[in-house]
Structure 1
Amino acid sequence: MKTYIKSLIFLFTITIISCEDVVDIEVPTGQTRLVIEASLDWEKGTAGNEQQIKLSTSTPYFGNVSSTEVTGASVTVVNENTSEIFNFTDENDGTYTTTTFVPIAGDTYSLEVIYNGQTYTASETLMTVSDINSVTQSIEGGFDDELLELNLYFDDPVDEENYYLIRYYETGDLFASLEDVSDEFTNGNEIHDFWEKEDDEDSNEQPFLPGDVVDVSLYGISEQYYNYIRLLIEQYDGGGNPFSSTAAEIRGNCINPSNPSNYAFGYFRVTQVVRETYTFQ
């Protein structure tokens, strides 16, 4: 009987070993594209004249490219209402800067990037944002009544459509948390948003504790950007969820008029922002 069992184990082991064939899989790679990070954010109470735009190139997911910064491009922004032109200086590290930008609420701005003989354009309208009424803490308004949460309150203007992006960042975290907000059901009222962190070993997330410091940024954004960032947030939050929709490429507003198939990744936005820092007690 023992000899029979040993023979079965031997045959089973041989079978497993014989199935260990090396399989080389061709992983498709997409076209290398220009990536435009152009967020012209005008902080309330400042001149907003100093702005920066970043250019890089996309890379394959499994690629080992060490540097993707784009230099030698021409970057300009034009106020379409006043025809004023703002030239951005190439800093030779992938960033392009200006100290002469003039933000005007309600005006439309257009971006033009010329790189490798290709021209990329985009346009956005500078939306205003309400002041922050207050930032508080509590333990009863979130999903878990035993955990601290941060509360943000601000007023929404009456009789107009408004869209917001809220950025929460705790000092020491690797990434910020983003929330997209529409006033569809809260028009003209005070809007309340909260941020609560769970005790999650898988993501190394820990609940808020006294002494934790959080930076809060509230942006007034266009409906076009709201639709864009909302999809990005949904895909990010749905990562690893077997019931979430299949991730798909999300295009921004940076187009190539003469060669539409050679569009750029990224988004050109022009916003007004208010910021506040809160320390948990």
Structure 2
Amino acid sequence: MRTIVKYIPILILAALTSCTDVVDVTVQEGPERLVVEASLDWEKGTSGNVQTIRLRQSTPFFDEDNIIDVTGASVTVTDDSNGNRFTFIDQNNGAYQTNSFQPVLGQSYSLRIEYNGEVYTAQETMTSVTNITDIFQSREEGFELDLLEVNVVFTDPETEGDNYLFKFQRQGDLLPMLEYAEDEFVNGNEIEWWFEPEDEDNIRPFEAGDIVDIEMFGISRAYYNYVSILIDQIGGVGIFETTPVTVKGNVINQTNSDNYAFGYFRLSEVDRASYTFVEDTINAK
């Protein structure tokens, strides 16, 4: 055993020093697909009339700088209870907008997109969300006891099956941080949901003076299942993490099922708030 251990570093060193050739790997590119960003969010206290749906084409994995906006499509959303149709006008930049949408909690809506001679459809229900009742900071709940985290307090409704999507975005950061939750074990209780940036993702911890914008969405169970897979894959692939798979949403190509779309048609009520971190010692509320 000692002899084997002794020679393992030598073999590794030899392998590393001998592998000097550069290998070009050709990455196979999949077909271009329609990407649908159809999140209709009804902020509490607003009419929810102005809504935007964005369409683009998928791009190769390593092509991060080339976003192909889709223009010339026909986009409508229909209230399934009364047939009211809301037309989303092409803004010629990939965005399609309406200022006449009528959101109704618990109501089913249907999306229809006509593009390049094909028809894409989806159906979803406008899902309610409870109120954020308090926001405070602490250093007690997170994985690192010396780091600041933000705590969001809300009371889960007594009805079972509530699902949540949280979006945290520190002002000045390029991208938001997402988390999801369900009420399986906390149904009907007051909940303190804490969040701190993950150090392994090279995101700096919260500091005094930081302002974080918080959004809490009510989401359907189907979207919860979809976004949980998506967020887990965003976290990267490690020895204990999920193997990447093609994540299909609820947008169906009725003309050619093989040419499926990416993205999701979601309708959510959302409660929004902001919090400014202050200097503290243990817990500032």
Identify whether the pair has TM-score above 0.5, normalized to the shorter chain: yes
**Are residue 280 (structure 1) and residue 277 (structure 2) matched?**
yes
Partner Cα separation in structure 2 for residue 252 and residue 93 of structure 1: 23
Tell me the number of residue pairs that the alignment of Structure 1 and Structure 2 aligns.
263
Partner Cα separation in structure 2 for residue 59 and residue 208 of structure 1: 34
The amino acid across from 2:249 in the alignment is: G
Contact 1:59-1:65 within 8 A present in 2 as well: no
Q: How many Å apart are 1:272 and its aligned residue?
A: 0.3
Corresponding residue for residue 259 of structure 2: 262
Partner Cα separation in structure 2 for residue 179 and residue 65 of structure 1: 26
Structure 1: which 5+ residue stretches go unaligned? 1-11
Contact 2:57-2:70 within 8 A present in 1 as well: yes
| DSSP 3-state at the match of 1:226 | helix
The amino acid across from 1:218 in the alignment is: M
Corresponding residue for residue 33 of structure 2: 33
Contact 2:38-2:264 within 8 A present in 1 as well: yes
> Deviation digits for residues 64-105 of structure 1, max 9, x if unmatched?
874401110000000001211000100111110000000000
Partner Cα separation in structure 2 for residue 66 and residue 136 of structure 1: 40
Matches within 5 A, 1:30-179: 30-63=30-63, 66-179=66-179
Partner Cα separation in structure 2 for residue 146 and residue 22 of structure 1: 44
Partner Cα separation in structure 2 for residue 177 and residue 67 of structure 1: 22
> Deviation digits for residues 148-184 of structure 1, max 9, x if unmatched?
1110111111133100101111111121111111000
| DSSP 3-state at the match of 2:123 | strand
Q: Which moved more, 1:209-218 or 1:55-64?
A: 55-64
Identity of aligned residues (%): 49
Contact 1:125-1:222 within 8 A present in 2 as well: yes
Q: TM-score, normalised by structure 2?
A: 0.87
**Are residue 210 (structure 1) and residue 208 (structure 2) matched?**
yes
Partner Cα separation in structure 2 for residue 62 and residue 222 of structure 1: 32
| DSSP 3-state at the match of 2:258 | helix
Q: How many Å apart are 1:143 and its aligned residue?
A: 1.7
Structure 2: which 5+ residue stretches go unaligned? 1-13, 279-285
Which is higher, the Rg of structure 1 or of structure 2? 1
Q: How many Å apart are 1:22 and its aligned residue?
A: 6.2
Change (3 A) 1:25 1:121: same
Q: How many Å apart are 1:21 and its aligned residue?
A: 5.9
| DSSP 3-state at the match of 1:166 | strand
Corresponding residue for residue 5 of structure 2: none
Question: Which of 250, 266, 271 is matched with 2:268 structurally?
Answer: 271
| DSSP 3-state at the match of 2:253 | coil
The amino acid across from 1:31 in the alignment is: P
> Deviation digits for residues 226-258 of structure 1, max 9, x if unmatched?
000000111112x14233231111000001123
| DSSP 3-state at the match of 1:262 | coil
Q: Which moved more, 1:140-149 or 1:223-232?
A: 140-149
Change (3 A) 1:65 1:116: farther
Contact 2:150-2:195 within 8 A present in 1 as well: yes
Change (3 A) 1:117 1:189: same
Change (3 A) 1:143 1:73: same
